[in-house]
Structures are given as C-alpha cells and as structure tokens.
Chain A
Amino acid sequence: MEVEAAKMIGAGLACVAMGGAGIGVGIIFGNYLQGAMRNPTAAQGQFGNLIFGFAVTEALGIFGLLIALLLLFVL
C-alpha cells in the first residue's frame, strides 16, 4: 500500500475517537439534565462539575482529531 493512502485511512480511523467522545459527552449532559430535573435546586451548584467532566471527556476526542490532523498535514 502506498504511504499516502495509508495516511488517509489512518486519519479516517483516528476520527473514530470522536464518536466515542460524542457518546461520552451525551451521557454526561443527559445525566446532568436527568439529575437537574429531579432536583432543580441542586443543579446550579453542579454546573462547574458538568463543564469539567465535559472538558475531560471531550479532550480524548480532540486527541483523536489531533492525530488525524497530524497525519493529514504534518507527517
């Protein structure tokens, strides 16, 4: 296989990580909303935790995107 073609396939595969991050972020926001609906008064205090969890989960998807960008434009 040519190296160029392998890079393209690798970049595509790396983007699978973003699917996982999507599932994770969906679970976080879904569960937050569920908790917020059950106890709306406590929801405001947990907003920081929500954003923190979101950021940490999203970072893994971003790493995948970074690998894809590296494969496409740098390497």
Chain B
Amino acid sequence: MANDPIHQFNLERVVELPLGGIDASLTNSGIFMIAAVALVTFFMLAGTRTRALVPGRWQSMVEISYEFVADMVKSSSGTEGMRFFPLVFSLFMFILFSNMMGMFPYFYTVTSQLVVTFAMAMLVITLVIVYGVMKHGIKWLKLFILPGVPIALLPLVTVIEIFSFITRPVSLGVRLFANMLAGHIALKVFAGFIVLLIGTGAWWGYPLSILPLLLTIALTALEFLVAFLQAYVFAILTCIYLNDAIHAGH
C-alpha cells in the first residue's frame, strides 16, 4: 500500500552480511546511523580546523553547540559532571542530527526505532548505577531514602522512589521513540489527505486539499521544533540522572 503511514519505518537490508547465524546485515537504519556520526564528525572537525581567535560562521556554530551542552551539564550536574561531558555531547549531537536528517523526505529516522533509543537509555542508566556504586559504594542506595520523610511513610516513599528509578530507562527511551514515531506518522497521514482529496476527482478536491497542505507545513515546522526539543530533553535528563550518581543523597 503506497499510502501506508507505517511503511517509512520498514527496515530493509541493503548489504546482506550473515555472520555465523547472526544477521549482521547493513540496513537502511544502519546507513543513516553511520551518516549521522560522519556528519557530526565532519561538522565538528571542519568547524574547528582553522581555530581562529575570532570565529567565523561555521566555527561559531561549533562553539555555540559546545557551550550550549557545557552550560547544560554544569547547571544540572555541577562542575564534577563535566567528566561526562563527552558522553552527553555525543548523545545530544547524535540524536539531534538523526532527528533532523529524518525530516528530509525519503530519509530514514534512526531514532524512530525503539531498540535504538532504548539502547541509549540503558547505556545512560547503566552508567548511573555503575558510577554511583563505584563512587559511593553501598551508600549510593541512600538515593532511594528521602531525608525528612516521616518514619511511618518511609517504606512507602522508598518503594515509590525505587519504582520511579526503574521506569526511568523506559520513559527515557520510549519518549524519544514515540515522539519521532508519532510525529512522522502524523505528517504522513495529513499528507495522505491531500492525495485522497485530489483522488476523489470532484471539483472541490483541489481547493479543499489546500487545508491539509497548510496543516502539513505547520506540522513540519512543529516537527523541527520537536526534533530539537527531544534531543535537548534526552541530554538534560541524562545530566539530571548522572547528577544522582555524582551527588547521591542530596
């Protein structure tokens, strides 16, 4: 079906690569992942190549993106959090570039696959647990015991805290995935209305199809905002969760 809004998320094997029973084929998703990494690398390396004291246009863009993420890390997890800056910056740039590339027609949106976003979310949460235990030892578990809670309520609050911690990787991964998926499906559905209206063959088909066209344009603008916002949200939540590992019990 040509008008299937889900079809755009189909994985297609581009290069077949069976590795001893494991299907390691290069898919269209994999190609766009590599493209996103290559694009980020090119953007950063080519921008800082000249290293001018007075930055040009490209270098300013690189510096702005650096300072944007650096401010985010410092404000939400302190100067100690800056040791995780490379991770947060890589995640932010990768998600931002994949989301933005997904906005081009016929391009694949890498972040619209749950397995990709959930893998990134699990990486963050595993890092939080491992670093938290490494730094504070068993005392890190004090994170779940809120100070100043009445003793009668403490078991209940602790259970809720643990539960909220467990849902973190789920919500972190699913949020990015669902936003990209729902946005792209909505774009496709509204674009499909144009085709349907013109396909009726009636005289009112063409003038009426302007309405869904305008809506599609508005939605495209909204999707660009969402593409940036979700990358920002993922990065800032990473910082906030890392803050729990660095400063436990605060």
Contact = CB atoms under 8 A, between A and B. Distances in A.
Interface of A: 48, 51-52, 54-56, 58-59, 62-63, 65-66, 69, 73
Interface of B is mostly: helix
B171 A59 contact: yes
Contacts of A65: 178, 182
6 contacts: A51-B233, A52-B240, A62-B179, A63-B174, A66-B174, A73-B6
Given A48-B72, A48-B75, A62-B179, A55 B233 contact: yes
Contacts, number: 36
B236 interface: yes
B232 interface: yes
B236 A51 contact: yes
A70 B76 CA distance: 34
B175 interface: yes
B77 to A, nearest CB: 11
Contacts of B182: 65
A62 B75 contact: no
B237 A52 contact: yes
Contacts of A62: 171, 174-175, 178-179
Interface string B104-135: 00000000000000000000000000000000
Given A48-B236, A51-B232, A62-B178, 5 more contacts: A51-B229, A51-B233, A51-B236, A56-B171, A59-B171
B72 A59 contact: no
Contacts of B6: 73
7 A-B pairs with least C-beta separation: A59-B171, A62-B178, A55-B233, A62-B175, A65-B178, A66-B174, A48-B76
Given A48-B76, A65-B182, A58 B236 contact: no
